[in-house]
Structure 1
Amino acid sequence: MRRGLGWYLITLYAVMVYVFMFLPIVVVVLLSFNANQFGAFPMTGLSLRWFEALWNNEAVMRAFRTSLLLGVLTALISTTLGVLAALALVRYRVPGRNLITTVLIAPILVPEVVLAVALLLFLNFIGIGKSFTLLLFGHVIFTLPFVFLVVQARLVGIRRDVEEAALSLGASPVQTFLSITLPLLMPAVAAGGLFAFTISFDDITGTLFWKPGGVETVPTQIFAMLRHSISPEINALGTVMIVLTVGVPLLGAALARRLAMKSGR
């Protein structure tokens, strides 16, 4: 009886934690469809007027395009570097491999605000000011460890003798990588790239330190709008962000599973 009561209390506590975490998100999504200008319950009706206003807001759309460009470039660079680093550290005997691995995953261990300030101070010390390139560089540093760990975990599970068989049949190392290794790695590559895009698109801490004047991403645009007033457009923009940041990883997981099934055949 005591055991049943204990599990009941644990379940109740878990439900309360999840309600506390996700109820604000549900409220934001609901208020983004509110017909009334004032965000309050009960809602007076359903409307898409705030999404339409968001579409006609040039500042928001410019920030959205900047975030998309930044996220795509970050994903491409981080994925390329992550795949190359994983190949080098898993398939070859690199001197100081453990040290290099620690350095690669260090940005995950260091608080992002510390990393942002350190990078900004270092680049200012060597005479490099804020720019879009600096912003891209910072996002790559922060997302590269995630891609590296995902690809490394997949690469460890790929049998080496499959690649050696291709090499023994006359294939060059490049042909072996493109025909054998890369198709087997594609689930991890796709997942790592989508995760890098999501992290970059959703980042605000580092972006606030690295972005130049006049350049806004979607998170920093939301932050700037909140400093002036709480507009219903913010709820609509928050809903779009929720859909992207939740939908892209789910899409990545589905794509990785599909590619894994194909490679398993």
Structure 2
Amino acid sequence: MAERATSLGWQVIRGYAVLVYIFMFLPVMVVVLLSFNASQFGSFPMTGFSFRWFIELWENEAILRAFRTSVILGLLTAAISTTLGVLASLALVRYRVPGANMISTILIAPILVPEVVLAVALLLFLNFLGVNKSFTLLLFGHVIFTLPFVILVVQARLISIRRDVEEAAMSLGASPVQTFFQITLPLMLPAVLAGALFAFTISFDDITGTLFWKPGGVETVPTQIFAMLRNSISPEINALGTVMIVMTVGLPLLGAAIARQISKKSGL
């Protein structure tokens, strides 16, 4: 009797979980389906299958400009956040730094603070300093927000790398710099790539902080979608949403596959 009640309870939990996932992802599936609808009006049943809206999306200069801005911003954010994250992780894990726990807490704090609060605080602080909105400010804000994700991923990997492997390399005559590039970095490369992809994806998909930090005339893909929705609901938005979904979902999956292959080749 108890086993039957337990089995029934797990079935209820599974059913509830399925309903939650359907509620979360059904709107996304609708957007993807409507992006291939031949009709200009988003309605079911679909009148036909067409790539018309993706073609018009490709010919829309404002969207292409926003896409280029998002890609450049994401790549710069990933490069800076990954570099700083690797250096910070090495300092906190491999060396005795005074106040390491406090420094680690400060570096990870942006994750704990709601993004809108962080965006407003940074904007008010820079206004107090007399710094105007610019692309540099936007990049700075994205780095602050993505850096904790890189640090957490890289630190977790670095802790699992045995210190005696690095010590063996240095005992054989390798300098600390040679040891890092020839031993440590290859071992932590999957985490570095994962952190970079996290930073790029989060930056590319961010809208809350971007709305506060971006200068006039500069639009990223999320803010461009937001601006288009304020005017009218265009089928191009569905196509653009599909592109965003493919990038924000596909890139982490691709990164995970690459990291898995690197781990297999390194024998880890």
- Normalising to structure 1: TM-score of the pair? 0.99
Alignment-derived partner of residue 131 in structure 1? 134
Residue 208 (str. 1) matches residue 229 (str. 2): no
Deviation at 1:259, TM superposition (A): 1.2
Report the counterpart of residue 144 of structure 1 in structure 2: 147
Alignment-derived partner of residue 82 in structure 2: 79
Task: Please list the CA deviations of residues 8-61 of structure 1 after superposition, one character each: whole Å capped at 9, or x if unmatched.
Answer: 221211111011000000000000000000000000000000000000000000
1:55 pairs, out of 55, 58, 61, with 58
Paired position in structure 1 for 2:95: 92
Question: Does residue 237 of structure 1 match 2:244?
Answer: no
For 1:186, the equivalent position in structure 2 comes to 189
In structure 1, the partner of 2:162 is 159
1:109 aligns with 2:112: yes
> How many percent of aligned residue pairs carry the same amino acid?
80
> Matched residues in 2 for 1:154 and 1:72: separation?
23
What is the rounded CA distance, in whole Å, between the counterparts of 2:234 and 2:70 in structure 1? 21
SS in 2 for 1:264: coil
Q: Quick one: which amino acid aligns to residue 211 of structure 1?
A: K
| Cα distance in 1 for residues equivalent to 2:107 and 2:168 | 31
SS in 2 for 1:118: helix
Looking at structure 1, the residues matched to 162 and 266 of structure 2 have their Cα atoms a distance apart, in angstroms, of 13
The equivalent residue for 1:121 is: 124
Instruction: Determine if the alignment matches structure 1 residue 222 to structure 2 residue 228.
Output: no
* Cα distance in 1 for residues equivalent to 2:88 and 2:266: 22
Q: Which amino acid aligns with 1:187?
A: P
5+ residue gaps, structure 1? none
Letter paired with 1:33: F
The alignment status of 1:31 with 2:34, answered yes or no, reads yes
Q: Distance in 2 between matches of 1:260 and 1:100?
A: 30
Which region of structure 1 is more displaced relative to structure 2, 2-11 or 118-127?
A: 2-11
Q: CA deviation at 1:3?
A: 2.5
2:184 equivalent to 1:171: no
Quote how far apart the aligned CAs of 1:250 are.
0.4
Offset at 1:4?
2.8
Aligned length: 265
Q: CA deviation at 1:67?
A: 0.1
2:199 is the counterpart of 1:196: yes
- Aligned Cα RMSD in Å? 0.8
AA at the equivalent of 2:84: L
In 2, distance between residues paired with 1:239 and 1:13?
A: 27
Runs (4+) of structure 1 exceeding 6 A deviation are none
Deviation at 1:187, TM superposition (A): 0.4
How far does residue 124 in structure 1 lie from its aligned partner after superposition?
0.7
Distance 1:154 1:5 in 2: 40
Task: Give the SS at the match of 1:100.
Answer: helix
Q: CA deviation at 1:7?
A: 2.0
Aligned-pair distance for 1:112? 0.3
